[in-house]
Structure 1
Amino acid sequence: MTTPTTSVSDAATPAHAACGCPEGGGPLAPSRRIVLAGASALGAAGATLALASPAEALTRLTFADAGYTGDTVVVLSFRGGIDGLSVVAPVGDPAYYAARPSIAVPQSRGLQLDTRFALHPALAPLLPLYTAKKLAVVHAVGQPNPTRSHFTDLDEMERAAPGSSLRTGWLDRMVGATTTPGPFAGTAIGSSSAPRSLLGPQPDLALRSVDSFALSGAWDATETARWTTALRALHAGAPDVVGVPARTTLDALGTAATLKAAGYTPATGATYPSGGLGDALRDTARLVKAGVGLRAVTIDSGNWDMHSDLGSSTGGWMFRQLTEAGQALAAFMTDLGTAADRVTLVTLSEFGRRVAENGSGGVDHGYGNVSLVLGGGVRGGTVYGSWPGLAADQLQAGDLRATTDYRVVLAEILEKRCGLTASTVLPGVPTGRLGMFAARA
């Protein structure tokens, strides 16, 4: 039986409960109940690494990278089904304007990428990245068996193994395919729980922020050190199903404490927008540059289910959402600087939206969508994929047809940027590739 995923979040305690490990009956159970009864999260003090010398702390932080030379893969999930036809509008397809008389991006307002496609004007901060070939677009991307159901399609997207009996998440399988993954190898940032993509036997972390990630029940640095020592002793002889999550938690808490004590200022004048997405990408850049051993990071951005009042290219719901996303992604790349050469970020969403706008000024659930890919190894400045067209006879039940399986994009990231065999992570993935990544040296 597969060992359940360990998910650790703010006000952290060893996550044996999240593992489904039964309490009671064993000699350690009473002490663990005391730990879980601890009060609010520690706000400022750190755990074990805060007590180490700077040299020792640096050694222990960078040790987590040993054995893996591939990219950190950052998956930004636009939850709710983002409208790809607004994000990258097919302004050169006349059927687009016929289907969307009030919400289409006017050709005069779009940020032209080529003769057919234009970025939504709210994504202006991303245009320099596209011009610099650090941003690529994949249009008409989607799943092989779409259902238009949030729950079903999200579950299938994060499992990424259609037609198989695998129940693990694809990012958990990716982490498991790398060597000596450390406490931060698979991390959900900006969330209190790990998503489906990290479900599986590899320990993972879920933290709202680096600075708020602390040991529950400890009131100062002395208390933190005492609890840390006691918890390590308590779990020293425990079975792996209990001991590994506990040690993972404590190691991660120590690293977070060291980083918090050091503080963080984004590099090169990068300015993140206020809000959850900017905060999560800021912490991701912070962890990447600290060398804590990130292999896979997942970030959720919600509120994209725009059945009504989507708005126009000059304002409204979509404009506000994309403004935040564009500013956050641009700040992330600026902040990373040369560290972007070892990072690949890909955006995913469970499905796209209908081609035709509805009577409420929005768009309902659809199929084909768009994916944005950023990073130092991206062969950007290009819109990849086969465009099927938006004329009535080119649609799939009224939707944009998905001509590129999203797993093809993920497979090329795994192969070219992570040094992994894609089929071991994505069983049954098609063999074709888009050629959108340079091989990592």
Structure 2
Amino acid sequence: MTTPAPSPGRACCAEFARVSRRGVLGGALALAGVSTAIGSAVVTASPARAASADSVLVVLSLRGAADGLSLVVPHGDPVYYAARPRIAVPAASLLAKDDMFGLHPALAPLLPLWRAGKLAAVHATGLPAPNRSHFAAMEEVEDADPGSATRQGWLNRLIGTDANRSPLQAVNLGGGVVPTSLYGAEPVMSTGSVDAVSIPGDDQWDTTGGRVRSLHTLWDGEAGPLGRAVGSAFAAVDSFGPVRATPDRAAAYPRSDLGRALAEVARVVRGDVGVEVVTVDQGDWDMHSDLGTLQWGRMRRNVEDLAGSVAAFFTDLGALASKVTLVTISEFGRRVVENDSLGLDHGYGNVMLLAGAGVKGGRYHGTWPGLSDGLDADLLVTTDYRSVLAEVVSTRFGASTAKVFPGFRPETVGVMTSL
């Protein structure tokens, strides 16, 4: 069933309400000061600027605490198999093995990147002290400024180091809520999809452009914060045009939320409107039960989705992959010892995967602490996750790590090449 177009003489329907002053304000969210909702997109107040980005960072959050010991298996540590008699990944099935580590076999789509030296892993990474609360740990990871009373994420501080700031500099794709890493004083955009970045009412029914002109009449003369925010939104939507014009190649990706999100990220990169930072999520890594084996279970499905989506993303980018770096991060790892439900409870240390531009790939980085098989045993953290991120922001953006990670002195990890 189709919905007929509204009669020009009617002004009472929801469609007309969308373009009223109340319709615009109804979706406004208090993010980074003042922000304005545009369709399902959120843009914070600042003049827009469309300019090419030399480097693009994609931060992929594995929400729910992924088990790094399943993603990158320490087959050379005998405790691993003793602690997981039913769910351990057999050494014979691992990929890209060295004396200690090997990749989960479901990561096979990423082997071309590994062999090309464009995919690496850093094991035993995490927070400086354990935090097993999902929300508190993710807030701490994304804020990356322990003890500070200022609520500003590390990615917001990163874009703040650039003198040419704009709402197009950082984008969250896959939802309208800005993650903590992007939250702060600097302007960002958050949207569910590229095509959602539009002015409400600017559609096929408005053949004369009258609705948009009406919005300009309402807001162009407003000198206050809301007026500036709406003006910024107009400018951002206009500047986002080249991204909307790029082809949607989602059919080449897994049919999943992550596949859809990374297909949208590729459109943003191809549109080349100055976006330097993009955040995306892959959820459902909280596997207290039914983590499973290579034949069944949630881990296998999640790893297949992760590998297939990331591989499709870099294939989609083509030559543009030379300026894109992707980093995975999760709030904490899982226990070393399996539980009675064929799953794993909240742990501590984890693994970070890095792919793309500037990555010293085809190898495993970090210092291995060894495993313990006590009931509450954790993988200990030997590399603060901020040291990994600090190498990315310094080598790819030339940014001051002291500004992005206040009070932190990063150690050398060696996972990134210098500019």
1:368 equivalent in structure 2: 349
- Following the alignment from structure 2 to structure 1, what is the Cα–Cα distance between the partners of residues 25 and 319? 35
1:412 equivalent in structure 2: 391
- Following the alignment from structure 2 to structure 1, what is the Cα–Cα distance between the partners of residues 396 and 26? 32
**1:203 touches 1:245 (CA, 8 Å); kept in 2?**
no
2:287 equivalent in structure 1: 306
| SS at structure 2 position matched to 1:337 | helix
1:427 equivalent in structure 2: 406
- Following the alignment from structure 1 to structure 2, what is the Cα–Cα distance between the partners of residues 178 and 223? 40
2:255 equivalent in structure 1: 274
2:315 equivalent in structure 1: 334
1:109 equivalent in structure 2: 93
Residue 210 (1) aligns with residue 194 (2): yes
2:134 equivalent in structure 1: 150
Structure-2-length-normalised TM-score: 0.86
1:254 is matched with which residue: 225, 233, 238? 238
- Following the alignment from structure 2 to structure 1, what is the Cα–Cα distance between the partners of residues 186 and 208? 26
Identity %: 44
- Following the alignment from structure 2 to structure 1, what is the Cα–Cα distance between the partners of residues 33 and 138? 30
Per-residue deviation, 1:291: 0.6
- Following the alignment from structure 1 to structure 2, what is the Cα–Cα distance between the partners of residues 343 and 259? 16
Identify if the C-alpha distance between structure 1 residues 21 and 95 changes in structure 2 by more than 3 Å, giving closer, same or farther. closer
Unpaired stretches in structure 2, ≥5 consecutive residues: 1-18, 41-47
Per-residue deviation, 1:192: 2.0
**1:344 touches 1:374 (CA, 8 Å); kept in 2?**
yes
1:46 equivalent in structure 2: none
Residue 290 (1) aligns with residue 271 (2): yes
- Following the alignment from structure 1 to structure 2, what is the Cα–Cα distance between the partners of residues 277 and 22? 29
2:104 equivalent in structure 1: 120
1:388 is matched with which residue: 364, 369, 390? 369
- Following the alignment from structure 2 to structure 1, what is the Cα–Cα distance between the partners of residues 82 and 114? 28
| SS at structure 2 position matched to 1:211 | helix
| SS at structure 2 position matched to 1:112 | coil
1:133 equivalent in structure 2: 117
| SS at structure 2 position matched to 1:198 | coil
* Structural RMSD (CA): 3.0
**1:16 touches 1:245 (CA, 8 Å); kept in 2?**
no
| SS at structure 1 position matched to 2:92 | coil
- CA deviation digits over 1:90-147, x for unaligned, max 9? 1111100000001110001111332111111111111121111101101000001221
Structure-1-length-normalised TM-score: 0.82
- Following the alignment from structure 2 to structure 1, what is the Cα–Cα distance between the partners of residues 408 and 106? 34
Residue 98 (1) aligns with residue 82 (2): yes
Unpaired stretches in structure 1, ≥5 consecutive residues: 1-10, 24-34, 43-60
Identify if the C-alpha distance between structure 1 residues 416 and 257 changes in structure 2 by more than 3 Å, giving closer, same or farther. closer
1:64 equivalent in structure 2: 50
Identify if the C-alpha distance between structure 1 residues 89 and 239 changes in structure 2 by more than 3 Å, giving closer, same or farther. farther
- Following the alignment from structure 1 to structure 2, what is the Cα–Cα distance between the partners of residues 104 and 152? 29
- Following the alignment from structure 2 to structure 1, what is the Cα–Cα distance between the partners of residues 241 and 257? 21
Correspondence list, 1:216-227, <5 A: 216-220=200-204, 222=206, 225-227=209-211
- CA deviation digits over 1:158-194, x for unaligned, max 9? 1010133331111111111113223321111011211
**1:16 touches 1:246 (CA, 8 Å); kept in 2?**
no
